[in-house]
C-alpha cells in the first residue's frame, strides 16, 4: 500500500495559549476536577486530561509533564501520572452515557 501523494510525515502541533485557556476554563467551571498527565507518545506530545466529578473530560497538549503538574497545583486540581494510576471509572461511565444518549 502506498502513501497518498502530497502527504509527508505527520507533524505534532505544539501546545499554545488557547490550550491553557481551555484547561483553565474547564477546571474553573466544573467541580471535583482531577488531572491526569499523559506522557509523550509517538503520535502526541504530553497531554493533560481533566476529569470532572461526573466523568466529563477534556484533553489538551501541554508543554511538559512539569508544566501539567504546576498548572494543576495552581488551579487546585489534584494531578496524577496517567501511566501509573490509569483513568477513573467515572470517565468510562460518562463516555458510555454519551454513546447511549446518541443511539
d(CA 67, CA 72): 9
Q: Is residue 7 part of a domain?
A: no
Residue span of the structural domain in which 23 resides: 17-102
Could you list the pLDDT tens digit for every one of the 103 residues in the chain?
444 454 545 455 677 899 999 999 999 999 999 999 999 998 889 999 999 999 999 999 999 999 999 999 999 999 999 999 999 999 999 999 999 998 7
In the chain, the number of structural domains is 1
Decide if 24 contacts 74 (C-beta within 8 A). no
13 by DSSP, 3-state: which? coil
Q: Is residue 6 part of a domain?
A: no
Decide if 92 contacts 48 (C-beta within 8 A). no
Q: Is residue 11 part of a domain?
A: no
Decide if 59 contacts 22 (C-beta within 8 A). no
Strands 47-51 and 34-38: antiparallel
Decide if 101 contacts 53 (C-beta within 8 A). no
Q: Is residue 5 part of a domain?
A: no
Q: Is residue 2 part of a domain?
A: no
Closest CA to 36 of 10, 13, 55: 55
Q: Is residue 76 part of a domain?
A: yes
CATH code for the domain in which residue 53 is found = 3.40.1690
Amino acid at each position: 500500500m502506498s502513501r497518498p501523494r502530497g502527504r509527508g510525515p505527520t507533524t505534532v502541533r505544539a501546545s499554545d495559549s488557547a490550550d491553557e485557556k481551555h484547561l483553565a476554563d474547564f477546571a474553573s467551571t466544573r467541580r471535583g476536577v482531577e488531572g491526569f498527565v499523559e506522557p509523550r507518545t509517538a503520535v502526541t506530545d504530553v497531554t493533560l486530561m481533566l476529569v470532572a466529578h461526573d466523568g466529563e473530560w477534556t484533553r489538551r497538549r501541554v508543554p511538559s509533564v512539569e508544566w501539567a503538574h504546576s498548572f494543576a497545583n495552581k488551579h487546585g486540581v489534584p494531578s496524577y501520572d496517567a501511566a501509573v494510576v490509569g483513568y477513573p471509572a467515572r470517565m468510562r461511565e460518562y463516555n458510555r452515557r454519551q454513546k447511549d444518549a446518541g443511539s
